[in-house]
Amino acid sequence: MAALHEPHIACHIEDLTVSYQERPVLWDIDLDIPPGVMAAIVGPNGAGKSTLIKAVLGLVRPVAGHVRLFGLPIAAARRRVGYVPQRQSVDWDFPATVLDVVLMGLYGQLGWLRRPGRTERARAMAALAQVGLEDYARRQISQLSGGQQQRTFIARALVQEADLYFLDEPMAGVDAVTEAAIVALLKAQRDAGKTVVVVHHDLQTVARYFDWLVMLNQRIIAQGPVSQVYTPENLRAAYGGQLALIGTLDAQADKAP
């Protein structure tokens, strides 16, 4: 593992353990994600994927361990980090327009007492244009489709102009066209030198969408370039009997670039 304060590591986790009601959810996690990759975190239900992101972001308090983002604790690195939570965790009936939701991404830079001005609104509209929703800026967020809501939250993260993005299952429950649009957006961020970390549920698209892979089942099963990590052995170690498609995925893993 890298040293604790390595600024060239986008996300460095050392000896991280998280428990809920004294039951370990993540156990002794050691993880390094380099900058400039599009990384997937995969694992079975209950593996701790969402908890891992929340622990990195300081939303869940670990029992033990250290997290550093670009060599800094989250409190010092927060402005360099964007986050898109699971869509089902959001109250979509909250009375806010699409533009309002995107502007919320700038509150960390503005502070809660300063109102967004012309510059901030222009940045928010530019982020909406990136996700193809500039014509929906005045619409209530509750009036959007699930895919449009997801893209709005991605715009809220993009407006921060962060260096590191965490997204919790951004492709869950969206149609194929929206999924393709989200993947293209995230790859464009990666190509611009950003680091993108995605909790992902569809094993069949891992090798096509991502270049870095973390397999998790309460512990780290494997991590590294997709071509090295996406193997039948690692899939079995991570998923065990839960992996109904193991035969198909074996073939895919054997062909992964």
- Structural domain contains residue 4: no
Token pair 């997801």: residue: 150
Is 39 part of a structural domain of the chain?
yes
The dihedral through the CA atoms of 208, 209, 215, 220 has a sign that is: positive
Range of the domain at 196: 11-255
Residue 23 lies in a domain: yes
pLDDT of residue 256: 55
Tens of pLDDT, residues 206-231 = 999 999 999 999 999 999 999 999 99
Residue 92 belongs to a domain with what CATH number?
3.40.50.300
Residue 5 lies in a domain: no
**Sign of dihedral through CA atoms 53, 57, 61, 62?**
positive
Task: Count structural domains, the chain.
Answer: 1
Least confident range from 47-51, 88-92, 250-254: namely: 250-254
What is the reported pTM? Answer: 0.88
Confirm whether 114 is domain-assigned.
Answer: yes
Q: Do the domain assignments include residue 49?
A: yes
pLDDT > 70 fraction of the chain, expressed in percent and rounded = 86
In a domain, 40, yes or no: yes
Q: What is the predicted pLDDT for the residue at 107?
A: 66
In the prediction, which pLDDT does 1 show?
43
Rounded to 5°, angle at Cα 228 from 223 and 229? 40
Q: What single DSSP character describes residue 21?
A: T
Task: Return all residues near 128 (Cβ < 8 A) that are at least 6 apart.
Answer: 98, 99, 102, 134, 136, 137, 152, 155
Residue 50, domain member (yes or no): yes
| pLDDT at 21 exceeding the cut of 90 | no
